[in-house]
Amino acid sequence: MDNALREKYTVVIGLEVHAQLLTQSKIYNTDSTEYGNLPNTNVSAITLGHPGTLPILNKKVVEYAIKMGLACNCNITREMIFDRKNYFYPDLPKGYQITQDRTPICVGGNVAINLKDGTERNIALNRIHIEEDAGKSIHLDQEEDTLVDYNRAGVPLIEIVTEPVLKDSYEAHAFLTEVRRLVRYLEICDGNMEEGSMRCDTNISIMPVGTTEFGPKVEVKNMNSMRNVQRAIDFEIERQIMAVESGEIIESETRDFDASTGTTSGMRTKEALNDYRYFPDPDLSPLQISKEWLQEIESSMPGLPRELSLKFINEYGLTAYDARVLTDDRETAVYFEEICLHTHNYKAASNWVMGPVKSHLNENGLSIGNFKLSAKRLSELIALIDAGKVSFSVASQHLFPELLISPDKTPLEIAEALNLIQDSDGDKLGEIIDAIVSEFPEKVKQYQRGQKGILSMFMGELMKRSKGKADPKVANELLRSRLG
């Protein structure tokens, strides 16, 4: 779309993110939450809402929701109720969903995102509340009827609701990235959008620049990746602007995203306000969070990515970029910190993790959790380089792969066995230099006439003859002084 046209409008976006909590059992009973079981096998009478059954709240669900709230600087509600949201849908066996309407467990708060220019922006949250998932309607090709699988019914969710403050698809993407990083650090959700364990409804409206009254909001559903959320937003902004420009009135509605075309299409309009007849669930007593329990949860909070990132910058002197990459996931950050217990060469530790270690993991489709080399071994490798016994290139190209094969041996043992300890013995290097100088008298003259670039040819020759074991720094100095 024409830039000038786009700049006539302010875009307003609010996200509602559902995160499936990693509890073993459902929110109100002991049915398993395991994914991929035969349809309708994780369903007891309570999940199905049979008359006379009683829900019992899963304590872990509350703990996980509070953790997310603490990570997002929310106010934690200490006394709350659970509400019934009544509506009919085949995937909703009870005829109502138990959710939190008036007393969400977390209120306010914010999530810091990284902008393109490297600065941060705090995205204000409206609330985080606890609710239960519905079942799944399944439409099979050959099947005339719609099938329903209730295994997912009653799986715990938190819904993270932002204020309408996001400005474009980039910010929305950055927000989702950060939320995913947080739930993974907290180990409360696997954050996988492709598999539906994190889902996002996107609310988008536009208004002419300079005005303050929000336009009617359009809610887009069914994007199963962050990339698709971004695509849906970009499409929707353009569609709304074009509509307004041609004199149409945007309707507040719910739209469906189609990933194959990158477009959205109308599902239902919101002109008639839904009436869910919320009322407190009479089967669940009000919940009180004790001070002691809240403190217990607070003290069990792991280091969060932004705190760790700051620590890496301030204490370890890393660049913001390095700190960001190293804190991308918790396991990497933990591994890096462990190396730093054994070395003070933090920059080298960072280079190793972001370089050879990451490449090895990527090439083999591994995560750092199943990386064979202990942090201590890696610190020994760094120490070996720092002591001038091997060069970085010998260490990364020869020692590192050998260590992966024999992680029980020390780097020094392997370096000695493979005869990789580098030669900084001036006499031996001197002999090699003598030989090279007498073999290439022309090149020596060229060098002395000022073609200093020839030095690299001499270095190459020297490294070759020392079988890569010459200490490059020592070799370089010796060569220069010999050539004059």
Residues in contact with ligand ADP by the rule CB under 6 A = 12-16, 161-164, 203-205, 214, 217
CB 249, min distance to ligand ADP, A:
14
| DSSP, residue by residue, 7-70 | TTEEEEEEEEEEEE---SB-SSSS-B--TTPPTT-S--TTTTT-TT------HHHHHHHHHHHH
CB 131, min distance to ligand ADP, A:
13
Helix segments in 315-372, DSSP class H: 320-326, 330-342, 346-352, 358-363
Nearer to ligand ADP, 273 or 387 (CB): 273
CB 259, min distance to ligand ADP, A:
22
Nearer to ligand ADP, 217 or 469 (CB): 217
Nearer to ligand ADP, 217 or 255 (CB): 217
CB 110, min distance to ligand ADP, A:
13
CB 411, min distance to ligand ADP, A:
53
Interacting residues of 478 by C-beta distance below 8 A, sequence separation 6+: 426, 429, 430, 433
Residue among 49, 32, 108 at smallest CA distance from 73: 108
d(CA 26, CA 42): 9
CB 217, min distance to ligand ADP, A:
4
d(CA 131, CA 19): 10
Residue among 318, 369, 361 at smallest CA distance from 340: 318
Nearer to ligand ADP, 251 or 439 (CB): 251
Residue among 422, 379, 369 at smallest CA distance from 403: 379
CB 219, min distance to ligand ADP, A:
7
Nearer to ligand ADP, 186 or 218 (CB): 218
d(CA 217, CA 193): 24
Nearer to ligand ADP, 277 or 467 (CB): 277
d(CA 227, CA 482): 59
Nearer to ligand ADP, 29 or 240 (CB): 240
d(CA 331, CA 335): 6
Nearer to ligand ADP, 14 or 69 (CB): 14
Distances (CA, A) of 268 to 254, 255, 271, 290, 349: 5, 7, 9, 43, 54
d(CA 480, CA 61): 69
Nearer to ligand ADP, 161 or 334 (CB): 161
Nearer to ligand ADP, 129 or 389 (CB): 129
Three-state DSSP at 357 gives helix
Interacting residues of 461 by C-beta distance below 8 A, sequence separation 6+: 436, 440
- Which residue's C-beta sits nearest to ligand ADP? 14
d(CA 165, CA 123): 7
Residue among 172, 181, 163 at smallest CA distance from 107: 163
CB 227, min distance to ligand ADP, A:
20
CB 18, min distance to ligand ADP, A:
12
Residues listed for the chain: 484
Distances (CA, A) of 441 to 172, 393, 430, 475, 482: 65, 30, 17, 19, 13
Nearer to ligand ADP, 19 or 403 (CB): 19
CB 381, min distance to ligand ADP, A:
49
CB 222, min distance to ligand ADP, A:
16
